[in-house]
Structure 1
Amino acid sequence: MVQTNALRLLSACLTLVPSVLAWSTGVQPGQIQNLVTFGDSYTDAGAPADGGVAWPTYAAGYGPFNLYPFAKSGAVCSNYLTPRQFPPVFEYQLPAYFNETSNGTIKLDPNTTIYTLWIGTNDVGVGALLTGSDPGVTLVDTIGCAVNWVNALYASGARNFLFQNMLPLQNTILYSANSYPSRYWTAERNTTEWNVMMTELTNSGNQISRLLLSNLAPALPGAHVGLFDSYGLFTDMYNYPANYLNGTAPLNVTGCVHSCVLNVNESTGDPGVCTIANGTDRDSFLWYDELHPSEQSDRIVAREITAAIKRTSEEWTTWFS
């Protein structure tokens, strides 16, 4: 009888091991109350680029979380690397956050707050690495800058981080092999070459960020560092749209809600042709325009980010610490 009871106890303990190990890294279920977001137009809650509501606003509702948005449209990681006339992460967004915490505008408990960053689209795109406008600056530089965002916030007391990698930009209309002149680029270019190059940039950049984050995490005592696989999620949405899109028009992953084919010869005065999907038809599209995800895609991003933070799903997230 004693032996039987001992075996039962051992069996019960072994059953508990996987659940204990499951939470040995990353934030705990129910731990996070505050969401602080950094990045570019993909995350800008004040000027949504999806034609509706940005994903952080949806995530704040799904959580629910208190939202503190600092992402700005057009941003890159640093203007010292890839200069643009938009508020970058290091020269604008982080200083804005530090200013608000130092003057008491916002007061956040590090234990119940998580910080997210989704950056890279503008760093690797037109006017930056893709078109060679920044001699001497490499993909290693821009990705290293993004990962250093963790260090900068950690030094200020932050402890929970979720880094969102680049989505498959080669599948956007702007960088597809079948691209057309749009508001983002009207000059001549080899669309096939751009598509191949963007595939290399996104895949290489994401592998670099994964390696850098996995090496950094153990060096930050008390921190929880996670990687959200935006690339994997959007690839799955692209390949299996019926699992994600639910609009009333035929499902569409190669077109967009707001498409504008511009006339390259501006001297004619012809602005080109724009087509816009309205109402619930909009939710049938993966992309809002030639570069940005649709609002329905952003709902999915918000849903999966929320699941990662609340630890109800590990499908798209890897916790390194």
Structure 2
Amino acid sequence: MRVAFLVFVLPLASALGLSRFKHLVTFGDSYTDVVNVGDGGVAWPVYAAGYAHLTLHPFARSGAACSNNITPINSPPVMESQIPAFQAAKLRLPPQETVYTLWIGTNDVGASGLLTGKDPGVTVVDTTACAVDWVRVMYRLGARNFIFQNIIPLQLTELYSATALPSRPWHTDRNQTEWALLMTEMTTAGNAISLLMLRALAPTLRGARIAYFDSHALFTDMFANPARYLNGTAPLNVTGSINGCPFELNGGPVGGACPPQVQGSDRDSFLWFDELHPSEQADRVVAREMVAALRGNTRWATWIS
């Protein structure tokens, strides 16, 4: 079921024109990291920069949460690592020719964060407020054009689905149904909260333009209508993955070894690369829609400022 987020829609092209942008600056986790690439191929920012002829400045890092002060994870967080790395780079990018993106939250709400209660007292309100605060912090550093990407429906991934089996990321006992329900609640609530918070923040940032990219709705549609997005040579698959590895409960890989990855053009038939990460084909779709957002012709992004 697609969850609708009601936004006052402004024509994107009226706010920004693709031709004026020359730089794309990205923050986030493995969904956006261009070095430790989560999709097993080429990350979406590389495709987006190529499609739109932009210079890419990537700061996203695999495994990241928004802040280790909120969700302690042993990876470079947005607030304490990625933003300082951006400052240290001293890029001096022209504000009106640069767009900044953030895609964070998967690890914050996941098995290393809120889902398993590793941080008692921390809620999805805290992790979402941190993500929204990225806009305010980057605004103070001179950014003016933002694209905020919300959390995908993680309950549709192999790791968090109600039918999940033990696998490489998590092969000890769990209640799969409970995980799926909790993930549905946290991603839906977090996205609704982020939209409300961004609406409240936007009027306080003079000259800022903030777009809300509905990754949740896009991936829900890819899951429900794969033929619109997937184009590989194998049967279309939105429940399995290219590089999945089933495990025995509390044991090792079934049969003693992980099965070989799907190869060649068959990979483009899959929505997921592994138990948690989108496939390269899914990332091409994200890149295409991000560029379309800058052109003002995608239903997956709307301006809230």
TM-score when normalising by structure 2 = 0.94
1:317 is aligned to 2:301? yes
Q: Report the secondary structure of 2:292's partner residue.
A: helix
Conserved in 1, the CA contact under 8 Å of 2:13 and 2:294? no
AA paired with 2:81?
A: Y
8 Å Cα contact 1:263-1:271 kept in structure 2: no
The aligned runs of 1:1-321 (5 Å cut-off) are: 22=11, 26-101=15-90, 106-266=91-251, 271-311=256-296, 313-321=297-305
Q: Is residue 182–residue 262 contact of structure 1 (8 Å, CA) maintained in 2? A: yes
| CA positional deviation for 1:264 | 2.9
Contact 1:139 1:205 (C-alpha < 8 Å) held by counterparts: yes
* 1:178-204 deviations in Å (ceiling 9; x for gaps): 111112111100101101110001100
1:263 Cα offset (Å) = 2.4
Match of 1:12 in 2: none
Going from structure 1 to structure 2, the CA distance change for 1:33 and 1:267 (only over 3 Å counts) comes to: closer
Contact persistence 1:81–1:142 (CA under 8 A): yes
**Of the two structures, which has the highest relative contact order with CA contacts closer than 8 Å and spacing of 6 or more?**
2
- 1:97 CA displacement: 0.1
Q: Distance in 1 between matches of 2:226 and 2:124?
A: 30
**1:305: Cα distance to partner?**
0.4
Residues 1:294 and 1:268: Cα distance change in structure 2 (over 3 Å): closer
Secondary structure in 2 aligned to 1:179? coil
Instruction: Judge which range, 285-294 or 259-268, deviates more.
Output: 259-268
Q: Distance in 1 between matches of 2:199 and 2:224?
A: 28
Gaps of 5+ in 1: 1-20
Select the structure of larger CA radius of gyration. 1
Check whether the contact 2:13–2:295 (CA below 8 A) recurs between aligned residues. Answer: no
Task: Please tell me whether the aligned partners of residues 25 and 319 of structure 1 are also in contact (alpha carbons under 8 angstroms).
Answer: no
Deviation at 1:32, TM superposition (A): 1.3
Q: CA deviation at 1:146?
A: 0.2
Inter-partner Cα distance in structure 2 for 1:242 and 1:67: 30
Q: Which amino acid aligns with 1:136?
A: G
Identical-residue share of aligned pairs (%): 56
Q: What displacement does 1:266 show? A: 3.4
TM-score relative to the length of structure 1 = 0.89
* CA distance 1:23–1:38, shift in 2 (3 Å): closer
Q: What letter is aligned with 1:314?
A: T
C-alpha distance in structure 2 between counterparts of 1:99 and 1:276, whole Å: 39
1:36 is aligned with what amino acid?
Answer: V
Shift of residue 274 of structure 1? Answer: 2.4
2:240 is paired with a residue whose SS is: strand
User: What is the distance in 2 between the residues matched to 1:113 and 1:215?
Assistant: 23
- Residue 265 of structure 1: CA displacement? 4.1
Which residues of structure 2 form unaligned runs of 5+?
1-9
Aligned letter for 2:131? A
